[in-house]
Amino acid sequence: MKSNAKQRALMVEKIAVMLEMQDGMNSRVDKNWIERDRQWYRALWIECAELMDHYGGWKWWKESHQDVEQVMLEIVDIWHFGLSMRITPVRDYSLAAQQIAEEWESVASSTGFLEDVETLANFALAEKEFLIPIIPALLKEIRRDFEDLYRGYVGKNVLNYFRQDHGYREGNYAKTWDGREDNEHLVEILATIDADDLDFRDQLYAALKRRYPGSVA
C-alpha cells in the first residue's frame, strides 16, 4: 500500500538521515570507505544467518525460541549494510532516499519469514545488491514497521559510535556487560527514550555510558 504524500515525505527525510548517519559511521572506521569498494553484500547475507537463528523454529534437532527484539536488531544490522551499498561518491542522500522509498513501497509478497530471509540472502549472493522490498515484509511478520526500523537504526548507529569510542576496532571493547550483550542493554534503553526527541542520540549515548563498566557518567 502506497503512503500518502506527507507520510512519503517524512519517510524520505528519515531515510536520508539514516544514509547520512551510515556514511558518518563508515567514515569513522575508514574515511576512504567508498573508494575501498567493500563487499557489503557479503556482510549482508552472513547477517541473514544470524537473523534466522534469532527467529528460531528451524533447528529441529534442538530447542530454539524466538527473540523478537534481537530479530529486530538483526534486521537493523542488515539495513546498515544495505544502506552502505546505496551510498555513492556523489553522496546525494536525498536522491538515494527517494529511490529506497519507492522500492520500500513495492513490498515483496511473503512466502514465510525464513523463506523471505533466504530470498534476501540469495539476492545478495547472486546480484551483490540489496533487495529492499523484502525488509517491510520481514517487519510485517514480526508486527513492526518503518518507524520501528528507524528507531532501531538510530539506536544501533549510536551504539556503533559508542563501541568505536571505547576501543572496538582495537579489540579493547567489552561487548558483554553484567552478563548481557550490549545489544540487550540497547533494547532496554530504547524503550525509555522518545526517538523524536531532538536530543535522542545524546540521551542514548549518555545512557549507554552510564551502564558501561568503568565509564564515568
Is there a domain that residue 195 lies in? yes
What is the count of structural domains for the chain? 1
* CATH number, position 191: 1.10.4010.10
Is there a domain that residue 216 lies in? no
Q: Long-range contacts of range 99-107, CB-CB < 8 Å, 24 or more positions apart?
A: 100/15, 100/132, 101/8, 101/11, 101/12, 101/15, 103/132, 103/133, 104/11, 104/132, 104/133, 104/135, 104/136, 104/146, 105/1, 105/2, 105/3, 106/133, 107/133, 107/136, 107/137, 107/140
pTM check: above 0.85: yes
Tens place of pLDDT per residue across the chain (217 aa): 455 888 899 999 999 999 999 999 999 889 999 999 999 999 999 999 999 999 998 988 988 889 998 899 999 999 999 999 999 999 999 999 999 999 999 988 899 999 999 999 999 999 999 999 999 999 999 999 999 999 999 999 999 999 999 999 899 999 999 899 998 999 899 989 988 788 888 999 999 999 998 765 5
User: What do you get for the CA distance between the two ends of the chain, in Å?
Assistant: 45
Range of the domain at 108: 5-211
Is there a domain that residue 193 lies in? yes
Q: Which amino acid is at 134?
A: I
* Residue 64, CA atoms < 13 Å, CB-side half-sphere: 13
Is there a domain that residue 78 lies in? yes
Q: Where are the alpha helices (DSSP H) in the chain?
A: 5-29, 33-36, 40-55, 68-86, 93-105, 113-127, 134-141, 146-165, 182-190, 200-211
Is there a domain that residue 163 lies in? yes
Is there a domain that residue 217 lies in? no
Is there a domain that residue 133 lies in? yes
Is there a domain that residue 68 lies in? yes
